[in-house]
């Protein structure tokens, strides 16, 4: 179970759009539409932001959106805000009740 590949960091100014990629393989991201994204502020538990590639849990702003093409999933934040500064992790179901996470991406709001 190799970790999914995410950029270590991304940045954007308030109001800009930022996209975080998450690359897996044909055995995880490419095979299942079960990609989720988590936001984690320092010292806090992860918070679900997107699931099943592009679905929103209740209470998550719709400026967060998800997509997938082949073995790569993406999280886009449209109109990034200061409170969005955090670490973001992607996660994919990888068959037989196992999961694989990405290494995490630090979002800096300039």
Q: Where are the beta strands (DSSP E) in the chain?
A: 9-12, 18-23, 35-40, 47-50, 64-69, 72-77, 86-93, 99-101, 105-109
CA distance 97 to 107: 30
Rounded to the nearest whole angstrom, what is the least distance from the CB of residue 15 to another protein in the complex?
A: 29
Q: Which residues bind another protein (CB under 8 A)?
A: 1, 3, 34, 36, 38, 44-48, 51-52, 57, 89, 91, 93, 96-104
Q: Return the SS3 of 37.
A: strand
Rounded to the nearest whole angstrom, what is the least distance from the CB of residue 29 to another protein in the complex?
A: 14
Rounded to the nearest whole angstrom, what is the least distance from the CB of residue 78 to another protein in the complex?
A: 22
In what side-by-side order are the strands of the sheet with 72-77? Answer: 18-23, 72-77, 64-69
Which of 98, 8, 86, 5 has its CA nearest to residue 47? Answer: 86
Q: Which is nearer to another protein, 5 or 78 (CB)?
A: 5
Q: Which is nearer to another protein, 13 or 42 (CB)?
A: 42
Rounded to the nearest whole angstrom, what is the least distance from the CB of residue 11 to another protein in the complex?
A: 19
Q: Which is nearer to another protein, 8 or 14 (CB)?
A: 8
Q: Which is nearer to another protein, 18 or 88 (CB)?
A: 88
């Amino acid at each position: 179970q190799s970790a999914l590949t995410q950029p270590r960091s991304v940045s954007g100014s308030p109001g800009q759009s930022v996209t975080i990629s998450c690359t897996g393989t044909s055995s995880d991201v490419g095979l299942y539409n079960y990609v989720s994204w988590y936001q984690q502020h320092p010292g806090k538990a992860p918070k679900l932001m997107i699931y099943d590639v592009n679905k929103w849990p209740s209470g998550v702003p719709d400026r967060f959106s998800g997509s997938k093409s082949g073995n790569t999933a993406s999280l886009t934040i449209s109109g990034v805000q200061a409170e969005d500064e955090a670490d973001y992790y992607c996660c994919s179901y990888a068959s037989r009740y196992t999961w694989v996470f990405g290494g995490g991406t630090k979002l800096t709001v300039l």
